[in-house]
Amino acid sequence: MILQVTDLSVRLGGSHILQGVSFDVAPTGVTALLGRNGVGKTTTLRAVLGEVPASGAVSYDGRPVLGRPTHKLVRDGLAYVPEDRCVFAGLTVAENLRLASRVPDPDFELVHDLFPELRERAGQRAGTLSGGQQQMVAIARVLLNPNRLLLVDEPTKGLAPAVVTAVAGVLERVASRVPILLVEQNLAVVRRLATDAVVLEAGRTAWHGRAADLLSDADATKSLLGVGSTAGRH
């Protein structure tokens, strides 16, 4: 397992957000982290990355990571694409990418192959891009460097259907190279990408197994995700 989360607990501002989250992420493919709004999916990613104080145990590539600074984890190949993209609005596309480049030979070839539009918009301020274009920048930033695991938080949120399909296609190609822990609300995307799934409920792990098993179980998807098992099926 590339990532093992055991009894992860997070308290923020007096609220007990995570109350014992446990799951594993396989070293290949996409593991979907699912659940209704507010169950702690984003907090789980941020806790793994060291952005919020947490207790419990998190092992990345066999080494404990809780308490380690975020930048060191990222340098060890744990990359993060945050919810709402978090591109630097005042920087150009080229500057956003240059900032993210940490190695002598960043993989611009892959980035421009996946997102040819970014080459054309290199001089444009990232804050003036559309949501889909900003998502391209956010994903491109992490692909410039060698990674061992991607944490990707709601990459299709707020995007038009055509852009959702494009982003899913990119993640599918990326997943063939590096495992992904994916927080996603769009079950069509989950159905297309995920091999494994973890479902959180009220800050705890409620289900963990094969994504196909979850999505084919109408009762489980209804009770855990609040949608029918046919949701997102085209």
Dihedral pair phi/psi, residue 134, rounded to 5° = -65, -35
Instruction: Tell me the window of 11-19, 25-33, 93-101, 218-226 that interacts with another protein (CB under 8 A).
Output: 93-101
| E strands present in the chain | 3-12, 15-25, 30-34, 55-60, 63-64, 78-81, 149-153, 180-183, 194-201, 204-210
Among 35, 82, 106, 203, binds another protein (CB under 8 A): 82
Distance separating alpha carbons of residues 92 and 106, to the nearest angstrom: 18
- With tokens 């999916």, the residue in question is 41
Residue 94 makes CB contacts below 8 A (sequence gap 6+) with 122, 123
Decide if residue 227 touches another protein (CB under 8 A): no
Q: Which of residues 132-151 bind another protein (CB under 8 A)?
A: 141, 145
Distance separating alpha carbons of residues 58 and 150, to the nearest angstrom: 15
Distance separating alpha carbons of residues 89 and 43, to the nearest angstrom: 24
Instruction: Tell me the window of 55-63, 88-96, 173-181, 217-225 that interacts with another protein (CB under 8 A).
Output: 88-96
Decide if residue 68 touches another protein (CB under 8 A): no
The least distance separating another protein from the CB of residue 91, rounded to whole angstroms, comes to: 6
* Count of chain residues binding another protein (CB under 8 A): 21
Q: What is the dihedral of CA 31, 227, 214, 190, to 10 degrees?
A: -30
Residue 175 makes CB contacts below 8 A (sequence gap 6+) with 29, 30, 193
Tell me whether residue 7 or residue 107 sits nearer to another protein (CB atom).
107
Which two tokens mark 176?
Answer: 């063939």
Among 8, 18, 47, 80, binds another protein (CB under 8 A): 80
Decide if residue 157 touches another protein (CB under 8 A): no
Binding mask 20-49 for another protein (x = CB under 8 A): -----------------------------x
Decide if residue 63 touches another protein (CB under 8 A): no
Decide if residue 207 touches another protein (CB under 8 A): no
Decide if residue 5 touches another protein (CB under 8 A): no
Distance separating alpha carbons of residues 6 and 112, to the nearest angstrom: 38
Tell me whether residue 16 or residue 72 sits nearer to another protein (CB atom).
72
| Residues β-bridged to residue 59 | 4, 64
The least distance separating another protein from the CB of residue 216, rounded to whole angstroms, comes to: 35
Tell me whether residue 36 or residue 98 sits nearer to another protein (CB atom).
98
List residues binding another protein (CB under 8 A). Answer: 49, 51, 69-71, 74-75, 80, 82, 86, 88-91, 95, 98-100, 102, 141, 145
